């Protein structure tokens, strides 16, 4: 818990300092230019042209169809009564190419669609200290796109699209080759991936809701030293994918209703030295799917009503699964090999039938969580047709009495008698 508090406190301080530094710069140095009917400027283009560094541009209520708007000065662009910037499905709408810039309170809709230059509703190019806050982004190819960004904040935005196939839509929040980003309190739906990180380091994803996206709620690639805390990933093609990454902290998240042939709450592929703490995995095909992972600590998580609580492939090693609750899963764990190089200890298993004579809440008999039927299903999925049949029950009961096919060292030596209070 101390780790979580430290990360959150650090994020709060960084967020406040970043926003205050920009606000003070504008208060000290800038003037206000208004845009709209009967205002100083009729168009946003005109306002940007006459603005000086650290000016504020207030865009008043109305519909603005001005093609691509390039922000190339440090400006505070603020919407009054939610003005609408419409790309008419032809243009990237806002292109931010300046440092110390804030985009606040706009509706940005109908960007162009293209696969070569990836147009966005709001796209940030090689800039630092850019704040994108309190906006609504609707029906854009990419919602918010950050490339080569540093110390940028994307906060409290509603980002929606209506994609049907992943090849025809971009990501809600797309971050590439960036550092020290903060993705906080956004709602993202209808995109290819809700949030996408590639080559992004030292960043945090906190209190977002990512739901009904075509592929992943969150997708990590080659992004080290990041944290995601207190997010909800619900009813996506698959929940979260973390790949080719190290030193990731995953705390207090919900992975809910991610169903499908290749769906899971959390996919971990080729990652190491990471910490998964106090998450809820509810009603997923697989709660966690691990492949090629090492030195991952999975602690104080809840696995409820999943097809598989955890799938741990034989390529995984030195992972520590401790103090978790496994309840009402079809299979608690499964693997595709006989070599076990991971540790299970002090987990609660609702299928455990042991006893506790000394009443210390630790079972007196070790528990083998890997059922024979789950191994057979791993090699031949069609056998699931026999699930809950007398034959399947007989196999598992026989294996418990005379273990022969399940790995003998796939074991929890100290199973808990009662669930952990999370």
Q: Does residue 420 form part of some domain? A: no
Q: 197-200 contacts: CB < 8 A, separation 24 or more?
A: 197/221, 197/223, 197/226, 198/222, 198/223, 199/223, 200/175, 200/176, 200/226
Q: Does residue 40 form part of some domain? A: yes
Residue 22 has a pLDDT of 58
Exposed/middle/buried for residue 418 (C-beta within 10 Å: 0-12, 13-18, 19+): exposed
Residue 382 has a pLDDT of 60
Place of tokens 């029906």: 139
Q: Does residue 208 form part of some domain? A: yes
Q: Helix, strand, or coil here: 168?
A: helix
Q: What is the pLDDT of residues 183-220, one digit of tens each?
A: 999 999 999 999 999 999 999 999 999 999 999 999 99
Euclidean distance between CA atoms 105 and 161, whole angstroms: 18
CATH code assigned at 101: 2.160.20.10
pTM of the entire structure? 0.88
Q: Does residue 402 form part of some domain? A: no
Token pair of 24 as six digits: 């003070």
DSSP 349-399: ETT-----TT-SSB-SS-B----HHHHHHHH-GGGGGGTTSHHHHHHHHHH
Residue 406 has a pLDDT of 58
Q: Which domain holds residue 216?
A: 2-363
Q: Helix, strand, or coil here: 2?
A: helix
- Is there a contact between 289 and 266 (Cβ–Cβ < 8 Å)? yes
- Is there a contact between 271 and 315 (Cβ–Cβ < 8 Å)? no
DSSP-derived letter for residue 24 is H
Cα Rg, the chain, nearest whole Å: 25
Residue 302 has a pLDDT of 97
Cα–Cα nearest to 136, from 163, 109, 102: 109
Token pair of 110 as six digits: 């109908």
Q: Does residue 254 form part of some domain? A: yes
Looking at the chain, the whole-number percentage of residues with pLDDT higher than 70 is 84
Place of tokens 């079972």: 363
Residue 196 β-bridge partners:
174, 219
CA atoms within 13 A on the CB side of 103: 34
Count of domains forming the chain: 1
User: CA separation (Å) from 79 to 60, 130, 400?
Assistant: 6, 16, 66
Euclidean distance between CA atoms 104 and 92, whole angstroms: 18
Give Cβ neighbours of residue 88 (< 8 Å, ≥ 6 apart): 65, 67, 110
Place of tokens 């528990």: 367
Token pair of 130 as six digits: 């850019």
Q: Does residue 55 form part of some domain? A: yes
Rounded-to-10 torsion of CA 94, 97, 101, 102: 20
Sign of CA dihedral 40, 42, 47, 49: negative
Token pair of 275 as six digits: 């910490």
Residue 338 has a pLDDT of 67
Our separate counts of H helices and E strands in the chain read 4, 38
Residue 136 β-bridge partners:
107, 158
Cα–Cα nearest to 306, from 374, 243, 356: 374
Per-residue pLDDT tens, the chain, 422 aa: give them: 566 666 666 666 666 666 666 555 555 567 999 999 889 999 999 999 999 999 999 999 999 999 999 999 999 999 999 999 999 999 999 999 999 999 999 999 999 988 778 899 999 999 999 999 999 999 999 999 999 999 999 999 999 999 888 888 999 999 999 999 999 999 999 999 999 999 999 999 999 999 999 999 999 999 999 999 999 999 999 899 999 999 999 999 999 998 877 789 999 999 999 999 999 999 999 999 999 999 999 999 999 999 999 999 889 999 999 999 999 998 899 888 766 789 999 999 999 988 888 889 999 999 888 876 566 566 666 655 556 555 556 655 555 555 555 566 788 999 999 999 87
State the CB neighbour count (10 A cutoff) for residue 54. 19
Q: Does residue 323 form part of some domain? A: yes
Exposed/middle/buried for residue 80 (C-beta within 10 Å: 0-12, 13-18, 19+): middle
Q: Does residue 408 form part of some domain? A: no
Give Cβ neighbours of residue 240 (< 8 Å, ≥ 6 apart): 216, 217, 218, 219, 220, 228, 233, 253, 255, 265, 266, 267
State the CB neighbour count (10 A cutoff) for residue 411. 19
Cα–Cα nearest to 19, from 188, 175, 182: 182
């Amino acid at each position: 818990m101390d780790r979580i508090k430290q990360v959150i406190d650090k994020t709060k301080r960084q967020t406040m300092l970043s926003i205050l530094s920009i606000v003070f710069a504008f208060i000290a140095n800038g003037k206000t230019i208004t845009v709209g009917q009967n205002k100083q400027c009729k168009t946003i283009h005109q306002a940007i042209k006459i603005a000086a560094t650290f000016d504020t541009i207030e865009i008043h209520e109305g519909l603005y169809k001005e093609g691509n708007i390039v922000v190339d000065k440090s400006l505070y662009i603020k919407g009054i009564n939610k003005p609408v910037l419409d790309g008419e499905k032809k243009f990237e709408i806002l292109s931010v190419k300046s440092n110390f810039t804030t985009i606040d309170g706009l509706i940005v809709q109908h960007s162009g669609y293209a696969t070569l230059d990836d147009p966005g509703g709001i796209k940030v190019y090689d800039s630092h200290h850019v704040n994108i806050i309190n906006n609504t982004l609707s029906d854009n190819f990419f919602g918010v796109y950050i490339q080569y960004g540093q110390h940028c904040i994307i906060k409290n935005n509603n980002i929606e699209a209506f994609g049907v196939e992943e090849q025809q839509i971009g990501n809600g929040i797309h971050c590439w080759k960036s550092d020290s980003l903060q993705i906080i309190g956004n709602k993202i739906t209808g995109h290819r991936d809700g949030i996408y990180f590639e080559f992004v380091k030292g960043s945090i994803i906190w209190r977002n809701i990512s739901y009904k996206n075509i592929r992943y709620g969150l997708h990590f690639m080659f992004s080290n030293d990041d944290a995601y805390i207190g997010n909800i990933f619900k009813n996506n093609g698959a929940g979260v994918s973390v790949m080719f990454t190290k030193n990731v902290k995953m705390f207090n998240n919900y992975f809910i209703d991610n169903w499908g042939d290749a769906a899971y709450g959390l996919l971990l592929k080729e990652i190491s030295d990471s910490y998964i703490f106090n998450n809820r995995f509810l009603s997923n095909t697989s709660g966690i799917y691990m492949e090629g992972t090492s030195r991952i600590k999975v602690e104080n998580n809840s696995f409820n009503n999943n097809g598989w609580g955890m799938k741990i492939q034989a390529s995984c090693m030195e992972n520590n699964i401790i103090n978790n609750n496994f309840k009402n899963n079809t299979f608690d764990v499964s693997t595709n090999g006989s070599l076990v190089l991971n540790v299970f200890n002090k987990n609660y298993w609702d299928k455990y039938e042991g006893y506790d004579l000394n009443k210390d809440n630790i079972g007196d008999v070790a528990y083998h969580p890997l059922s024979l039927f789950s191994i057979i299903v791993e090699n031949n999925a069609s056998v699931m047709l026999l699930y809950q049949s007398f034959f399947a029950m007989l196999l598992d009961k026989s294996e418990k009495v005379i273990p022969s096919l399940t790995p003998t060292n796939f074991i929890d030596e100290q199973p808990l008698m009662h669930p952990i209070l999370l």
